[in-house]
Amino acid sequence: MGKSIKIELNGNTVMVPDESSLYDLIQMKNWKHVRMHIRIDDIDIAAKDYNRTKLHDGDKINIIPQFGGG
């Protein structure tokens, strides 16, 4: 089994495979069809950057789903 890293996801500790990207995390959680706003360590991440944003041990990730309405 490969190495894992520990991240904080919306206040919960989660283990993910080392070298995972933000896109990989979204796929693992099956959130690929959900519009969302994502911050890592208080930095906003644009959707176009999900695939190239690598996760690091200790990252604090906040994912906020965006719902349409009006």
Read off the pLDDT of each residue in 31-35 and give the average, rounded to a whole number: 79
Looking at residue 1, what is its pLDDT?
53
Q: In this structure, is residue 56 part of a structural domain? A: yes
Portion of the chain with pLDDT greater than 90, in percent: 77
Looking at residue 6, what is its pLDDT?
98
**pLDDT value at 2 more than 80:** no
Read off the pLDDT of each residue in 19-47 and give the average, rounded to a whole number: 92
What is the count of structural domains for the chain? 1
Tell the burial category of 22 from Cβ atoms under 10 Å away from its Cβ (0-12, 13-18, 19+).
buried
Residue 33, classed as helix, strand or coil, is coil
Structure pTM?
Answer: 0.85
CA distances from 2 to 55, 64, 67 (A): 15, 29, 36
Structural domain range at position 31: 4-65
The CATH number covering residue 31 comes to 3.10.20.30
